[in-house]
Amino acid sequence: MIRMWLISLDSKQLFSVVFLGLFFSCHQEDHLVTKRIEGYALGTSYSISFNAENLEETFVEHKVDSLFAVLNQSLSTYIPTSDISKINRGDSLLVVDDHFVTVYKQATEVWNTTDGFFDPTVGALVNAYGFGPGKKINTLSTQQLDSILQFTGWDKTKLSINNTILKTHPKLYFDFNALAKGYAVDVLAKYLRHLKVTSFLVEIGGEIVAQGKSLKSNSFWKVAIDDPQQGEDRTFIQIITLENEALATSGNYRKFSINETTGERWVHSINPKTGKAIPSNILSVSVLAENCMKADAYATALMVMPLQQAKLLIEKQPSLEAYWILSDSLGRVKEVFSSGFLKEN
């Protein structure tokens, strides 16, 4: 499953709109391993494949459920009693847990590096444009936009030395959906490593961490990325080999409009810097990184950043690689790769 957000979120949360349809599938033959766990969490599906003779699926599954419960209590805006929900209601005395601190610090890093194109405080804008669960404003005036921007912006937040969250505007709303699934994948991967599992693939809603090799193929894990122009029969545009790394994808190629004059296909993204919805020919972005939370956040940011600026950013980050799928002026798919992005076809 996928998403795309452009601003900060998770497929099922208020950003499911911009995220819509990028699917990641495991290569069928290479992913038949010794043990497999599947389920539903964080508003999407998840699967864990691992090689460990003395480790039972039920044991791992119970621990995974417990980890999801802890993460939800910290980061889920769907749970009224969660830390993030309390903070959104104005609790400035709550001491957040280590999970919240880790995600907050990663969000701050990516916000700085992307010059504000990644911003987990854009929930009100997403709702206003009709991309979220909140009420849409049919005709968003300049005055209304300016008003919403008053309580939008990561620079209006601060993590105190005591791990409380400070906001300069009471209406400022946190939503970590653009990192939370990626972070959850990292947490599960860390747990498997704690159990001494050396070969596994963890996937939550299309966000992936892979380690070691597939037992059946004795090669590094492979995942496939859907072709955005596929018909009824599912086809893939790329097969990616993951060599002990993470992969995240944001995309919105299933929700687009056609320019009646030029015939060009455009998707619509929200620029968190200006608050304006903008047409874009970027259909999806996939990011390789050393951890999934970072890949998740950058995949979101690169959906909104101008392509040339985004490419320069990635080339300056030695730990990141990226792959863009675009729509050209004739509606054809075009692929763009960073210099170190490894593909197989």
Per-residue pLDDT tens digits for 262-277: 555 555 578 888 888 7
- pLDDT for 132 equals 56
Distance of alpha carbon 42 from alpha carbon 149, whole angstroms: 28
Among the listed ranges 36-40, 161-165, 339-343, which one has the minimum average pLDDT value? 339-343
Sketch the domain layout of the chain as residue ranges: 68-178
Distance of alpha carbon 85 from alpha carbon 78, whole angstroms: 8
Buried-exposed string 119-145: b where 16+ CB fall within 10 A, e elsewhere:
bbbbbbbbbbbebbeeeeeeebeeeeb
SS3 224: strand
Per-residue pLDDT tens digits for 272-328: 888 887 777 888 899 999 999 999 999 999 999 999 999 999 999 999 999 999 988
Per-residue pLDDT, averaged over 226-250, amounts to: 84
SS3 144: helix
Residue 43 has pLDDT above 60, yes or no: yes
Q: Amino acid identity of 177?
A: N
Higher pLDDT, 77 or 261: 77
Q: Choose from 33-42, 235-244, 315-324 the range with maximum mean pLDDT.
A: 315-324
State the pTM of this model: 0.85
| Domain made up of 68-178: CATH architecture | Orthogonal Bundle (1.10)
pLDDT averaged over every residue in the chain: 83
> Which among 52, 57, 44 has a CA at the least distance from the CA of 16?
44
pLDDT bin (cut points 50, 70, 90) of residue 133 is: low
